[in-house]
Structure 1
Amino acid sequence: MVAFLTLALSLSLVVHSWAAPATLEPRISTTIADLKFPQIPANLLCDIPFISQWICPRDSGGSSTSSSLSVSTPLGTAEGTSDTSGVVRYAVRYGSADRWQPSSVVTSWALPAGASNASGLPLACPQGTDPTQYSEDCLAMLLYVPPSVQIGSDAPTLMWIHGGSFVSGSATGPGLDGAILATNSDAIIAVVQYRLGALGFMAPSDETNLAVQDIMTAMQFLQKVVPSFGGSASKITLDGQSSGANMIRAILAVPSASDLFQSAILQSDPMDYGFLNTTMQDTLQTFFNEQLPCSSADSSCLSSLSVSDILLAQSSLMGNASSLVPAAGAAEPIRPVRDGILITSPLDSTAPFPSQTKPILLSTVLDEAMLTIYGYYTSPITVTFYDEIVNVSFGEPRAERLLSAEEYIVPVSSSNSNSVQDARPQLQVMGTDQVWRCATWTFARNWVASGGQAWVGLYVVGASYPGNSAVPECTETGSVCHQDDIEIVFGTAPSPTSAQSALINEMQARYKAFLTTGNPNTDSYPTWTEATSTTIDALELGGSGNYAAGACNVTYWGEYVEYDYQVYDI
Structure 2
Amino acid sequence: MTDDPSRRKVLRNSGVLAGAALITGLPGGRAAQAAPRADEPPPVAEPPAGRLLGSEEGGLCVFKGVPYAAPPTGALRWRPAQPHPGWQGTRDATAFGPSAPQPYREGGDQVLGTHGSPPFDEDCLTLNVWTPAADGAKRPVMVWIHGGGFISGSGSVPGYSGETFARDGDLVVVTVNYRLGPLGYLYFGEDGAGGNFWLTDQLAALRWVRDNIAAFGGDPDDITLAGQSGGAFSVAALAGARPKGRPLFRRAILQSPPLGLQIPTRAESLRRTATYMDILGVGNVTELRAVPWPRLIAATYEMFGRTGRWGYWSTPFLPVLDGVTLDRDPADLLLSGAGADIEVLIGWTREEANFAFALSGPYAAATKDQVLSRVRDTFGNRADEAYTAYEEARPGARPVDVLMDLITDDLFRMPALALAERRAARGRPVWAYQFNLPTPAHGGQLGAAHCLELPFVFDNFDKWSQAPFLAGLAPRVRDGLAGTMHAAWISFIRTGDPNHHPMPRWDRYDQDSRTTMALDSVTTAVDDLAGYWRRLHRQAAP
TM-score with structure 2 setting the length: 0.77
Contact persistence 1:528–1:539 (CA under 8 A):
yes
Instruction: State how far apart, in whole Å, the 2-side matches of 1:160 and 1:242 are.
Output: 12
Q: CA deviation at 1:100?
A: 0.8
Q: Deviation digits for residues 474-504 of structure 1, max 9, x if unmatched?
A: 57xxx32211111111111139822222222
Is 2:509 the partner of 1:531?
Answer: yes
Partner of 1:486: 454
Per-residue deviation, 1:343? 1.5
**386, 389, 404: which is aligned to 1:402?**
386
**Counterpart amino acid of residue 305 in structure 1:** V
Are residues 461 and 352 of structure 1, via their aligned partners in 2, closer, same or farther at CA, if it must alter by over 3 Å? closer
Partner of 1:320: 306
Shift in Å, 1:555: 2.9
Residue 457 of structure 1: aligned partner: 433
Tell whether 2:114 aligns with 1:139: no
Conservation of the 8 A alpha-carbon contact between 1:253 and 1:343? no
Tell me, what secondary structure is at the counterpart of 1:556?
helix
Question: C-alpha displacement at 1:203, in angstroms?
Answer: 4.4
Does 1:343 find its partner at 2:321? no
SS of corresponding position for 1:276: coil
Residues in 1 aligned to 2:369 and 2:49: alpha-carbon distance in whole angstroms: 60
Tell me which of the two structures has the higher relative contact order, counting C-alpha pairs closer than 8 angstroms and 6 or more residues apart: 2
Say if 1:361 and 1:455, in contact at 8 Å, map to a contact too: yes
Question: In the alignment, which of 88, 96, 116 is matched to residue 121 of structure 1?
Answer: 96
Paired position in structure 2 for 1:264: 252
Equivalent-residue separation in structure 1 for 2:531 and 2:540 (angstroms): 10
2:495 is aligned with 1:509? no
Contact 2:147–2:230 under 8 Å retained in 1:
yes
Q: Distance in 1 between matches of 2:155 and 2:346?
A: 22
Partner of 2:264: 276
Q: Residues 150 and 527 (structure 1 numbering): CA distance in 2 closer, same or farther, change over 3 Å?
A: farther
Select which of 33, 49, 56 maps to 1:75.
49
Q: Does residue 312 of structure 2 align to residue 332 of structure 1?
A: no
User: Judging changes above 3 Å, is the alpha-carbon distance between structure 1 residues 297 and 279 closer, same or farther for their aligned structure 2 residues?
Assistant: closer
Look up the SS of the partner of 1:337 in the other structure.
coil
Q: Which runs of 5+ in 1 are unaligned?
A: 1-63, 414-420
CA distance change for structure 1 residues 126 and 161 in 2, over 3 Å: closer, same or farther? Answer: same
SS of residue matched to 2:535: coil
**Which residue number in structure 2 is paired with residue 84 of structure 1?**
58
1:444 lines up with 2:420 in the alignment: yes
Matches within 5 A, 1:375-386: 375-377=359-361, 385-386=367-368
Deviation of residue 222 (structure 1)? 0.7
Match in the other structure for 2:540: 561
Question: How many Å separate the matches in 1 of 2:535 and 2:369?
Answer: 23
Aligned-residue offset at 1:313:
4.1
Change (3 A) 1:474 1:95: farther
2:96 partner amino acid: L
Q: 2:292 aligns with which of 299, 306, 318?
A: 306
Cα distance between partner residues in 2 of 1:332 and 1:68: 43
Letter in 1 for 2:535: T
AA partner of residue 459 (structure 1): F
Q: CA deviation at 1:251?
A: 1.7
Q: Which of 208, 216, 225 is the matching residue for 1:229?
A: 216
Q: In the TM superposition, what is the alpha-carbon distance from 1:534 to its structure 2 partner?
A: 6.4
Q: CA RMSD in A?
A: 3.4
Aligned residues: 469
Residue 546 of structure 1: aligned partner: 525
Call closer, same or farther: CA 1:261–1:353 in 2, change over 3 Å: closer
Instruction: Tell me the secondary structure at the aligned position of residue 123 of structure 1.
Output: coil
Query: Which stretch shows the higher mean deviation, 122-131 or 367-376?
Result: 122-131
1:238 is paired with a residue whose SS is strand
Change (3 A) 1:333 1:561: farther
SS of the residue corresponding to residue 413 of structure 2 reads helix
> What does residue 172 of structure 1 align with?
156
Aligned equivalents of 2:239 and 2:51: distance in 1? 32
Supply the distance in 2 between the matched residues of 1:215 and 1:168 (Cα, whole angstroms). 15
**TM-score, normalisation: structure 1:** 0.74
CA distance in 1, matches of 2:437, 2:241: 33
In 2: Cα distance, 1:65 partner to 1:177 partner: 22
Tell me the amino acid that sits aligned with residue 154 of structure 1.
K
Structure holding more helix per residue: 2
Partners in 2 of 1:549 and 1:280 — Cα distance?
A: 36
Once residues 552 and 234 of structure 1 are traced to their aligned partners in structure 2, the CA distance between those partners, rounded to angstroms, is: 40
Matched, 1:239 2:257: no
Which amino acid is 1:81 matched to?
Answer: S
What letter is aligned with 1:480?
A
